[in-house]
Every structure is written in structure tokens, then in C-alpha cells.
């Protein structure tokens, strides 16, 4: 750019100088010719206005540069002669003036023109050198400024501007250099922070584009995080993760696993498309075991436990500590990998942001579950029954169905502890819990009510007699079960009280009490039996009902 400007200035000055020189030479040549013509005209006027023509001719002959003068025929002056000029006197005569030498006029003319050309050439050279000396430092600044801006456009702020000027321009340049240095420092700070948040983000070579893209992704991730923080459970969060993978990243083949660390149990949360990875035990998963990404594109068959020929995959673990670990397995064709490889870092960032929240939700749910379950038998506890019983009762009345309520108690349980120890008592309760769970449907609830007492809630009962049949089945099965503790085998029996809601009462907790009255009757009449509530039992008891 600088060369073009200097060349342009040089051409302008040179062309201007040439035009000026040519015009000056032309004008001088014209003036010289006019001067000779005026001299001839003056001689003619002297002759014409003189009274004595001969005396005038003698006077003119004595003038400088006049060699001869005579009156001639006009026809004789048609042929131009060197140093001779003819001035018309009338139609027939001319005044023929012969100058001593017109060549002197011509030489003088050319001498002046030559001097003018030389002066103009010197002026052109001097002007160009002067302008070059004055303008070049500023052109250098503009050129460097353009280079600096060109680099800065792509995020390179390393180009500084230098100058030897000591005027106000130097202050402006120093201020600009400080400005881009500060921008470069800020960009490095942003990039370092982005590397922490998105460690493996792809780099295009254009810092501004990369920072803009990563900042946009971080904004989306931050909004995503705020949304899932307000979700009530892990299922809702999984649905949002699935939506991100499907709709934002357009993944066609992926699978989400949840590993319950304490239980060493792995569950498939969601699967889309084809998937060559099938994990049954956490320890079989390399991503889970190493707590790091597994990428078959970097090393084929990197996971020796699970791989398929011709299958390319990436496994990304998230939330690798605490009670929960999530694993996303993604399968790619080679063509899909070219499209999605630069997005994996962003997928990881989404998962990492979701990880702590999923962990917290899962832990909270686990704590709640532990608070609602009996640790020894794995059954729901009384607190859980208190939370759901009213809801179940309302649903039963709304659907016009029946609830069967079984109150179960182990016969002579204290003797087991006294005779065989508390380990034997625990074994009896666990075996009874197992028997009850195996004897009812998944929609029914088995609750440890306290000590050796249990409650079973049978939902959507159509046949009242079926309630008693279930109770009898549990009683008989448990009575025939042999329980081995410390090399010793024992059998135990249970007593069961039955009530039906809302047939016996429209108050659900009163129905629980009625089942308890029936259980009391079974105990008092020999144990190892099932007793169904009746009005006679209520009349025989001192129970006055819920107030």
C-alpha cells in the first residue's frame, strides 16, 4: 500500500512538472516569435509615419540587428527567406526587412527552454524526495496499522506499531499498542477459563470465532443448568439430556447408562438407534473403571470387554464419584465422526454440568428412599405408609374399587430371639418379607409396620374372597419355609388380620385398626390363622372409632 501511494505521488508530481515545462516552453516560443513580429511592425510604422522616407530608411538601417531594408514588389516577397520579414505597405509594395541574424533569437529561445526544463526536472526530483522523506513515516504507520488490524480481525493481537516520530502521533501509537496488549491479555484470560470449562474444545485458528462459539455454548449450558436445577427428579434431567443429544447435536445412535456405585448396579436409562455396547456389570465398563473418556477412533478396540467389528464409539463418563456415575455411549460411522468430532467437547461440557445436579438429585432421592424403607428387610416403613395411604384411599374411592388390608405378625417371635439370638430373629423377618413380596403383585405394597408386625396393602381388589386367599397363601407358604441360622433349622408361623376398605369403613386409618383387631383375634384364638374383620369383633373390643 505504501509503495502504491508513493508511486502515485511521484507520478502526479512528475506529470505535473512535465505539463508545466511543456506549457512554459510553448509560451516562451510564442513570445519570441511575437517579439520579432513586433520589431518588424515597429520598423514598418516608423517608415510609414516618417515625412522623409529616405531619411527613415537610413535611420532604420542604423538600428541594431537591422542589416538592410528596401521597398520591394509584393510578389518578390512570397518566397520566405532566412532572416527576412516582409511588411505590407499597400497592395503592390512591401517593406522588406533583413535582420542581421534571427538565429540568435532562436538560440536564446532554446537556451531559455532548456534552462526551464532543467529547473523543472530538479524541482520534480526535489519535490519527490522531500515528500518521500515527510510522508514515508506516516505511510509506514498506516501500513503497520493495517497489518495489525488484519491480524486482530482473527484474534492475533501480537502485531505492534513502531515509529521514529516524536510528535503527537507517537503518543497515539503507544496508546494503541497498550490497547491491543490489554485486549490480548484479556483474550488469554478468557481462553484459559474456557479451557477449564470446555477442556477439549476444538480450535479453528481464529481466536475470535473460537471464543465467540465457546461463549455461546457456555451460555446455552448455563441456561440448561438452571433449568435442570429446578427439575424435581433425575428422570426429568435425563429427558433433557436426551433432548440435547437428539435435537442439538443430532446424534442418531447413543445409549445412556446409570451406575449405582454403592450397589454396583448398572441400568440402561435410554437407547436410540443401534448400539454395540452392552454392559451388565460396572467393572466391565472401561469408561467407568478409568473415569475417563474411551474413544475407539484414537485407539481401535481400546475397550477389551465390549466392542464390535466395524463399530466406532465414544464412551463419556460423568459424575464419577459419590453414589452415581452416568455413562453416555455414542456410536458413529466414519462419515458421522467427521461431522460430530468437534462437538464431543461440548457434549462433555453439558454432561459435566448435569453431573453434579444428577448426583445431588439421585443422592437426595436415595436418602428419601432410605428414610422410607426398612434397611434390614428392604420393605417400605411406616413413614412411607403414612405418606401414601391417604392418596391410595382417595384413588380407591374415586375408582370405586376395594383395598385389602392385611396385618401380619410373627407368632412367638420373642422366643426366637431368646432361644436362637437376634441373628435368627432377623433371618425370620427377612424370610417373611421375601415370602410376602413374592406372594403379591407389583402394584401392592408390603410395609414393615414395626417390630415383627407388617402391613400389606392389596390394590384394585374386585373379589373380597381373593383377599383372604392371598393371606392364606402367605400364611401357608411361610409355615412350610425352613429357615437355617448358624447350622440350625427352624420354622415359624404367622397370624393375619384382614379388613376391607371402604367396605368396613370409609376411613382408611380406621381400616388399619380393624385389621389390627382381626389380627388380635387370630392371636387370641390359637395363632397361625387368618381372621377377617367383622362387626362382632368391633363390638367385643373397646375401640370407639376415629374421632
Check residue 32 and give its pLDDT: 63
Q: Phi and psi of 124, rounded to 5°?
A: -60, -45
Quick one: average pLDDT of 338-360?
A: 87
Phi-psi region of 22 (alpha: psi -120 to 50; beta: other; left: phi over 0): alpha
Q: Are 267 and 258 in contact (CB under 8 A)?
A: yes
Q: How far apart are CA 90 and CA 71, in angstroms?
A: 11
Which one of the listed residues 267, 452, 453, 539 is annotated catalytic? 452
pLDDT digits (tens, 9 = 90+) for 119-142: 778 877 877 777 777 777 777 777
pLDDT grade, residue 275 (50/70/90)? confident
Residue 278, Cβ neighbours under 10 Å: how many? 12
pLDDT at position 75 over 60:
yes
pLDDT tens-digit map of 137-172: 777 777 888 888 888 888 888 888 887 777 788 888
Q: What's the whole-number average pLDDT of the chain?
A: 83
Distance CA 507, CA 394 (A): 10
CB 234 within 8 A of CB 362: yes
pLDDT in tens, 193-232: 888 777 777 777 788 888 888 888 889 999 999 999 888 8
Taking the C-alpha atoms of residue 55 and residue 59, their distance in angstroms, rounded to an integer, is: 6
Please report, for residues 24, 304, 372, 375, 442, the alpha-carbon distance to residue 387 in angstroms, rounded to integers and kept in the order given: 113, 47, 9, 18, 19
Only one residue has cell 402391613, namely 455
What are the backbone angles phi and psi of residue 478, rounded to the nearest 5°? -70, -35
Whether 470 contacts 440, CB under 8 Å? yes
Bridge partners (DSSP) listed for residue 403: 501
Q: What is the mean pLDDT of residues 435-460?
A: 92
365-404, pLDDT tens digit by residue? 766 666 778 888 989 888 888 888 998 899 889 888 899 9
Q: Domains of the chain by range and CATH?
A: 2-107 (no CATH), 155-193 (no CATH), 211-368 (3.30.450.40), 373-540 (3.30.70.270)
The partner residues of 488 in beta bridges, in order of sequence, read 485
The whole-model pTM stands at: 0.54
Q: Which residues pair with 495 in a beta bridge?
A: 409
Active site residue 521: no
Amino acid at each position: 500500500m505504501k509503495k502504491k501511494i508513493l508511486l502515485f505521488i511521484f507520478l502526479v508530481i512528475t506529470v505535473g512538472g512535465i505539463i508545466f515545462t511543456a506549457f512554459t516552453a510553448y509560451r516562451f516560443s510564442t513570445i519570441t516569435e511575437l517579439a520579432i513580429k513586433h520589431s518588424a511592425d515597429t520598423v514598418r510604422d516608423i517608415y510609414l509615419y516618417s515625412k522623409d522616407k529616405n531619411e527613415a530608411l537610413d535611420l532604420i538601417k542604423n538600428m541594431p540587428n537591422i542589416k538592410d531594408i528596401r521597398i520591394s514588389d509584393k510578389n518578390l516577397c512570397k518566397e520566405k527567406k532566412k532572416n527576412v520579414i516582409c511588411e505590407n505597405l499597400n497592395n503592390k509594395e512591401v517593406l522588406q526587412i533583413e535582420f542581421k541574424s534571427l538565429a540568435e533569437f532562436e538560440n536564446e529561445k532554446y537556451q531559455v527552454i532548456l534552462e526551464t526544463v532543467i529547473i523543472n526536472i530538479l524541482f520534480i526530483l526535489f519535490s519527490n524526495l522531500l515528500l518521500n522523506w515527510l510522508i514515508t513515516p506516516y505511510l509506514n504507520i498506516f501500513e503497520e496499522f493495517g497489518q495489525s488490524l488484519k491480524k486482530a480481525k482473527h484474534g492475533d493481537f501480537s502485531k505492534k506499531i513502531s515509529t521514529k516520530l516524536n510528535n503527537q502521533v507517537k503518543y497515539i501509537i503507544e496508546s494503541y499498542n497498550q490497547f491491543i496488549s490489554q485486549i490480548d491479555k484479556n483474550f488469554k484470560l478468557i481462553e484459559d477459563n474456557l479451557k477449564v470449562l470446555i477442556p477439549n474444545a476444538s480450535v479453528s485458528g481464529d481466536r475470535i470465532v473460537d471464543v465467540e462459539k465457546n461463549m455461546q455454548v457456555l451460555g446455552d449450558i448455563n441456561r440448561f443448568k438452571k433449568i435442570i436445577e429446578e427439575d424435581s427428579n433425575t428422570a426429568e434431567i435425563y429427558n433433557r439430556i436426551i433432548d440435547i443429544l437428539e435435537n442439538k447435536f443430532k446424534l442418531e445412535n447413543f445409549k445412556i447408562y446409570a451406575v449405582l456405585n454403592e450397589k454396583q448396579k448398572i441400568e440402561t436409562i435410554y437407547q436410540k438407534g443401534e448400539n454395540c455396547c452392552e454392559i451388565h456389570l460396572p467393572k466391565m465398563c472401561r469408561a467407568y473403571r478409568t473415569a475417563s473418556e474411551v474413544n475407539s477412533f484414537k485407539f481401535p478396540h481400546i475397550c477389551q470387554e465390549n466392542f464390535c467389528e466395524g463399530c466406532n464409539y465414544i464412551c463419556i463418563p460423568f459424575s464419577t464419584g459419590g453414589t452415581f456415575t452416568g455413562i453416555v455411549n455414542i456410536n458413529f460411522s466414519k462419515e458421522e465422526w467427521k461431522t460430530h468430532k468437534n462437538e464431543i467437547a461440548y457434549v462433555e461440557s453439558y454432561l459435566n454440568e448435569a453431573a453434579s445436579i444428577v448426583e445431588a438429585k439421585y443422592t437426595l432421592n436415595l436418602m428419601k428412599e432410605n428414610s422410607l424403607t426398612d434397611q434390614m428387610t428392604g420393605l417400605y416403613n411406616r413413614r412411607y405408609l403414612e405418606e401414601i395411604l391417604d392418596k391410595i384411599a382417595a384413588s380407591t374411592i374415586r375408582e370405586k374399587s376395594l383395598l385389602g388390608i392385611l396385618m401380619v405378625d410373627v407368632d412367638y417371635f420373642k422366643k426366637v430371639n431368646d432361644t436362637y439370638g437376634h441373628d435368627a430373629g432377623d433371618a425370620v423377618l427377612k424370610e417373611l418379607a421375601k415370602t410376602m413380596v413374592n406372594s403379591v403383585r407389583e402394584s401392592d405394597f408390603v410395609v414393615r409396620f414395626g417390630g415383627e408386625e407388617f402391613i400389606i396393602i392389596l390394590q384394585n381388589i374386585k373379589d373380597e374372597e381373593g383377599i383372604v386367599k392371598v393371606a392364606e397363601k402367605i400364611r401357608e407358604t411361610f409355615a412350610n419355609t425352613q429357615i437355617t441360622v448358624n447350622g440350625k433349622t427352624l420354622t415359624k408361623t404367622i397370624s393375619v388380620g384382614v379388613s376391607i376398605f371402604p367396605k368396613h369403613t370409609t376411613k382408611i386409618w380406621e381400616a388399619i385398626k380393624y385389621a389390627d383387631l382381626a389380627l388380635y383375634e387370630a392371636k387370641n384364638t390359637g395363632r397361625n390363622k387368618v381372621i377377617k374383620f367383622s362387626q362382632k369383633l368391633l363390638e367385643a373390643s373397646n375401640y370407639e372409632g376415629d374421632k
